[in-house]
A and B are shown apart, each in its own frame.
Chain A
Amino acid sequence: DAMVIQNPRYQVTQFGKPVTLSCSQTLNHNVMYWYQQKSSQAPKLLFHYYDKDFNNEADTPDNFQSRRPNTSFCFLDIRSPGLGDAAMYLCATSRGSGGFYEQYFGPGTRLTVT
């Protein structure tokens, strides 16, 4: 059974057209993460929520925003996608923060910007 679900798996958007990616979890985990992964590169943490507390990485562009309306759902909003934002976007969850907690990843959404 899927535990971290990302929709859609593939998303195509136009340059400058806002796009929203969604993530849901059935694990009831406290922490949800968004990562950006470009081809043949490691995932880069964009931000995370611990419950409702939002934590933005210092080098995450302002173009990227996130919402977590409840425990189960988290959204990634890209306000004005550029060609450089084409990537795989991974959502992950964990019960808590730190090394004793495993991160569970969704399958990712591959974003194409035309």
Chain B
Amino acid sequence: TQLLEQSPQFLSIQEGENLTVYCNSSSVFSSLQWYRQEPGEGPVLLVTVVTGGEVKKLKRLTFQFGDARKDSSLHITAAQPGDTGLYLCAGERDTGNQFYFGTGTSLTVIP
């Protein structure tokens, strides 16, 4: 059973466009992390959100944690080719202390 579903699974856009990636679950998470993974490398942490309704910004990236702490979104403004990669959300369950990754969104930004 996949706890965290991401959409879309694949996304190909032109440089300069905006996009939003969604991470959804029926379970409540005490915290949620977003990672970016480039081909042949391990994931790198972008942000951790812990409070329902929390919004964090990292340059052109905006992360939001849902009020009920069951979902999250990642919005990228004016995408650049350097944003290309696999975006992963990872949630920590209330009842446990390990992170479980979502299904992933593969983003390609075309110059």
Contacts and interface: CB of A to CB of B under 8 A. Distances in A.
A42 B42 contact: no
A99 B40 contact: no
B104 A92 contact: no
Size class of B's contact patch?
Answer: 20 to 34
B48 interface: yes
Interface string B88-111: 100010000111111110100000
Interface in B45-81: 45, 48, 50
A81 interface: no
A98 to B, nearest CB: 5
A25 B70 CA distance: 33
Interface size classification for chain A:
20 to 34
Given A43-B43, A98-B31, A103 B99 contact: yes
A interface, by DSSP: helix, strand, loop or mixed?
Answer: loop
Given A99-B92, A108-B42, A43 B31 contact: no
Nearest to B43: A105
A99 B33 contact: yes
Interface centre among A41, A99, A100, A105 (most CB of B within 10 A): A99
Nearest to B33: A99
Tell which of A4, A43, A45 has the most Cβ of chain B within 10 Å. Answer: A43
Nearest to B106: A40
Contacts of A90: 42-43
A47 to B, nearest CB: 10
A97 B98 contact: yes
Given A44-B101, A45-B98, A48-B98, A100 B31 contact: yes
Interface of B: 30-33, 40-45, 48, 50, 88, 92, 97-104, 106
22 contacts: A4-B42, A35-B101, A40-B104, A41-B103, A41-B104, A42-B88, A42-B103, A43-B101, A45-B99, A45-B100, A45-B101, A55-B98, A90-B42, A98-B92, A98-B97, A100-B48, A100-B50, A102-B33, A102-B45, A105-B42, A105-B44, A107-B41
